[in-house]
Structures are given as structure tokens and as C-alpha cells.
Amino acid sequence: IYITPLYISLISRTDFRFILKSLTIVAATNTLLTAVLIPYIGLLGSSLGLLCATIYNVIAIYQRHGQIVGKIDVPHALFKDHRLRYAMTALLFLSALLIGGQPEMNYFAAGFILFFIGAIMTQEPLTRLLLQKLRPAK
């Protein structure tokens, strides 16, 4: 969500050569890491390949935008207000990775993760708007 305005800025500046190069690296990174990791850790390897490729893409877009437009200051208040949500999301992600790597399914842990994902989702603006639209009018 935070990278989208910068990405749109690169598109509007017709920086298509960088975008093509970046997305080619993303695709190659995702494919290579997925192919290497899947035989060892199963589908978890696919998610790690995608995660690494996405992290590269975010870093590349920030750097390119900084080169063309100038360095941007990330508003610390943006992250300060959502620290708990980001920490909880990271903890849930790591928990899901650990559970996914187990040979047996732990339904209690999976239910725990799903409950907290739902709790986080209800705080998201789009989900909140959809829930308001679904509520019957008084």
C-alpha cells in the first residue's frame, strides 16, 4: 500500500525500462528461490520465494524514486500509530511459517492465527467500510 504511489509515479514518468528490468528480476528471483526451496520445505518455499521477490521490488522502487525525484522521508507517525498491528502481523506470519513447516496440523494454533488475522482485518479501513455496508440500515 505504501509503495503504490511511488510505483504510479514511476509509470507516469514513463520509466518503463526500469519497471521491466525490476519486474524481470522479481520474476526470476521468485522462480529461482521457489524452485530451490520447494524440494526442501514444500509450498512454504514458494511463499518465501515470493516474499523475497516482493521485498526486493519494494526496495528497488524506493531507491529508483529517490534517484529520480529525491529521497522521501517516511513519516514515522505512520508507523508509530500502527506499530502493534505490524508487530502482530509479523508474529502471525512467523507463526504460520512455523506451523506450515510441521508434519502434523495443529488445529488449535491454526485457529489462534485465524482469530487474530480476523481481529487485524476488522481494523483495516476497507474491511471496516465493507462491514458497514453489509450491516442492515436502522
Q: What is the 3-state secondary structure (H, E, C) of 67-129?
A: HHCCCCCCCHHHHHHCHHHHHHHHHHHHHHHHHHCCCCCCHHHHHHHHHHHHHHHCCCHHHHH
Q: Among 9-23, 38-52, 54-68, 118-132, which is the least confidently predicted range?
A: 118-132
Q: Express as a percent the part of the chain with pLDDT over 90.
A: 7
Per-residue confidence band for 61, with pLDDT thresholds at 50, 70 and 90:
confident
- Are residues 97 and 44 in contact, defined by beta-carbon separation less than 8 angstroms? yes
Q: What local confidence, expressed as pLDDT, does residue 82 receive?
A: 67
Q: What local confidence, expressed as pLDDT, does residue 76 receive?
A: 58
Answer whether residue 100 shows pLDDT above 80: no
Which helix or strand (DSSP H or E) is residue 46 part of?
helix 43-68
Q: Average pLDDT of 81-94?
A: 76
Q: What local confidence, expressed as pLDDT, does residue 105 receive?
A: 78
Per-residue confidence band for 27, with pLDDT thresholds at 50, 70 and 90:
very high
Largest interatomic CA distance in the chain: 56
What does the angle CA 10 – CA 12 – CA 15 come to, to the nearest 5 degrees? Answer: 45
The model carries a pTM of 0.59
